[in-house]
């Protein structure tokens, strides 16, 4: 098998592998409810669940709205306000720990689940088959609410308006808020969280998110409905966390209901920050579990990715290096035009074009003088160029005296004027001089070559006209 066929088969295998991965991702996306892109609360989305309206409202008030598309471990002191709405990708333990430290040092955080991402059961391909409700071990949003001693629960009551009962800076000019679903918030200790998520409590890697690090006295209910929390505030160090019961409260379709827009504006301005970031990294399709996210963020996985990239580059280099050979040109020499252009470029850079052209002119006149069997006159002699051209044309009729004389006059004018020549002028005059010199050499060589038609002179041993001696 040739090397080309082997490379072709390798490319076909890689293409089939990519198609299989794409088909798997498509099927998984269609089968899972929590990956429905129609319910994505993206900051650049105009649908009813998106938050483009909130972003434009904050922009008109002088705030810079940015999408944060990195892991939460990249949060730094330059980020003062962050919004996390209905995450669909799981967080790593490093992200949760770093987020809590970021809030403790003065960060402002807003968290809101949604009825799509915070459900306790999702449609997925589990042990009981595809499309059957399978309990989710722990929703992504609960990874953040668990350490704060909160959990999301479902009430029997549906959407409605909730009245404010306390005074707080976040509730300035807010009298009521609208909740578009039956999600509510409640305080929960470690036992309550373990009872609500038994599968997570039995996992050594997941139960860490069910251990509250915030005391109940640090949590305050700002808005409630039927003794169920709708808006809650968590104090942690120097920072604050505002938790909403439903992310749709800030969606394009519900932001204008009641005082929802005023509540969001108060949160953005409570610390006087000039920039507000919306987490977009944890939106979209999630194909791995919590343990999978931990593995993807680990150092061994990064080393493995670097190794795979190095192997891919190695094979790519092999395929390029041992590919089809590129045939060389039969004539690798440069043509006369390219040589003259290169020479012209060198003289242009050295600012010596007039000197080079004077050298070419002198050489051409010497060649013409040899062809016309005459001597060179001083440069200042009148009609010197016409004389050289006429003598050459008299000896060789194929030469054009007028053309030769005109070229010599142009060369003298260019040399004697002292002006700087352009690259195009230098190349044109050099090519004209070279053409005349080649033609003169060709004509002179042809005229001196002996022909077979001349008789052989036995007396001299050379070819020529035979002379006869007169007889007595």
Q: What is the pLDDT of residue 18?
A: 76
Q: What is the pLDDT of residue 467?
A: 43
Mean pLDDT of 111-135: 52
Q: What is the pLDDT of residue 436?
A: 86
The per-type count for the chain, helices as H runs and strands as E runs, is 14, 15
Q: What is the pLDDT of residue 364?
A: 83
3-class DSSP state of 392 = helix
Mean pLDDT of 389-400: 84
28-289 under CATH 1.10.10, yes or no: no
Q: What is the pLDDT of residue 162?
A: 93
3-class DSSP state of 65 = strand
- Predicted confidence band of residue 136 (pLDDT cuts 50, 70, 90): low
Q: Which residues contact 303 (CB under 8 A, 6 or more apart)?
A: none
Query: How many residues in total does the chain contain?
Result: 472
pLDDT digits (tens, 9 = 90+) for 186-204: 999 999 999 999 998 998 8
Instruction: Give the Cβ contact number of residue 395 at 10 Å.
Output: 15
Mean pLDDT of 146-160: 89
For the chain, the domains span 28-289, 336-445
- Predicted confidence band of residue 433 (pLDDT cuts 50, 70, 90): confident
pLDDT digits (tens, 9 = 90+) for 249-297: 999 999 999 999 999 999 999 988 899 999 999 887 666 667 666 666 6
Instruction: Give the Cβ contact number of residue 425 at 10 Å.
Output: 16
Q: Which residues contact 309 (CB under 8 A, 6 or more apart)?
A: none
Strand stretches in 164-227, DSSP E: 176-179, 183-187, 219-225
Q: Which residue has the higher pLDDT, 135 or 101?
A: 101
Instruction: Give the Cβ contact number of residue 56 at 10 Å.
Output: 13
Averaging pLDDT over each range in 31-45, 408-422, 425-439, which range is the top one? 425-439
Asked if 83 contacts 138 with a C-beta cutoff of 8 angstroms, the reply is no
Query: At residue 466, does pLDDT exceed 80?
Result: no
Q: What is the pLDDT of residue 146?
A: 94
- The Cα–Cα gap between 235 and 14 comes to 52
pLDDT digits (tens, 9 = 90+) for 51-72: 999 999 999 999 999 999 999 9
Measured at the CA of 234, the angle between CA 214 and CA 144, to 5 degrees, comes to 65
DSSP for 224-272, please give it. Answer: EETTEEEEEEEEETTEEEEEES-GGGGSTTTTTSTTHHHHHHHHHHTT-
Query: At residue 93, does pLDDT exceed 80?
Result: yes
């Amino acid at each position: 098998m040739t090397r080309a066929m082997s490379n072709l088969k390798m490319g076909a295998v890689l293409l089939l592998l990519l198609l299989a991965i794409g088909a798997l991702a498509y099927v998984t996306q269609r089968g899972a409810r929590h990956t429905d892109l129609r319910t994505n609360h993206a900051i650049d989305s105009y649908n009813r669940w998106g938050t483009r309206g909130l972003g434009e409202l904050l922009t008109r008030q002088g705030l810079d709205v940015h999408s944060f598309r990195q892991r939460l471990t990249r949060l730094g002191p330059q980020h003062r306000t962050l919004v996390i709405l209905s995450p669909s990708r799981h967080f790593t333990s490093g992200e949760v720990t770093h987020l809590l430290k970021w809030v403790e040092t003065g960060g402002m955080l807003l968290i809101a689940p949604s009825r799509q991402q915070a459900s306790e059961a999702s449609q997925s391909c589990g042990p009981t088959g595809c499309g059957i409700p399978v309990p989710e071990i722990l929703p992504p949003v609960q990874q953040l609410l668990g350490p704060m001693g909160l959990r999301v629960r479902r009430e029997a009551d549906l959407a409605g308006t909730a009245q404010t009962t306390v005074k707080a800076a976040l509730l300035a000019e807010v009298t009521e808020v609208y909740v578009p679903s039956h999600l509510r918030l409640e305080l929960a200790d470690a036992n309550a969280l373990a009872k609500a998520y038994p599968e997570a409590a039995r996992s050594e890697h997941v139960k860490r998110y069910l251990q509250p690090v915030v005391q109940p006295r640090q949590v305050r209910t700002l808005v409630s409905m039927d003794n169920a929390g709708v808006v809650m505030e968590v104090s942690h160090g120097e920072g604050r966390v505002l938790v909403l019961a439903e992310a749709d409260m800030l969606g394009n379709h519900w932001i204008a209901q009641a005082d929802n827009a005023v509540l969001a504006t108060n949160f953005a301005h409570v610390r006087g920050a000039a920039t507000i970031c919306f987490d977009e990294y944890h939106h979209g399709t999630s194909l791995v579990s919590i343990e999978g996210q931990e593995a993807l963020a680990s150092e061994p996985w990064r080393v493995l990715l670097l190794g795979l990239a190095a192997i891919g580059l190695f094979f790519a280099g092999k395929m390029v290096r041992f590919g089809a050979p590129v045939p060389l040109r039969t004539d690798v020499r440069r043509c006369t035009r390219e040589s003259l252009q290169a020479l012209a470029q060198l003289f242009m850079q050295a600012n010596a074009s007039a000197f080079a052209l004077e050298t070419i002119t002198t050489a051409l006149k010497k060649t013409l003088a040899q062809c016309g069997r005459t001597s060179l006159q001083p440069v200042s002699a009148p009609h010197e160029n016409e004389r050289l051209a006429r003598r050459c044309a008299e000896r060789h009729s194929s030469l054009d005296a007028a053309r030769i004389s005109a070229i010599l006059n142009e060369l003298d004018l260019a040399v004697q004027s002292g002006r700087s020549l352009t690259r195009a002028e230098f190349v044109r005059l050099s090519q004209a001089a070279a053409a005349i010199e080649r033609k003169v050499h060709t004509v002179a060589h042809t005229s001196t070559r002996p022909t077979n038609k001349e008789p052989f002179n036995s007396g001299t041993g050379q070819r020529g006209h035979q002379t006869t001696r007169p007889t007595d």
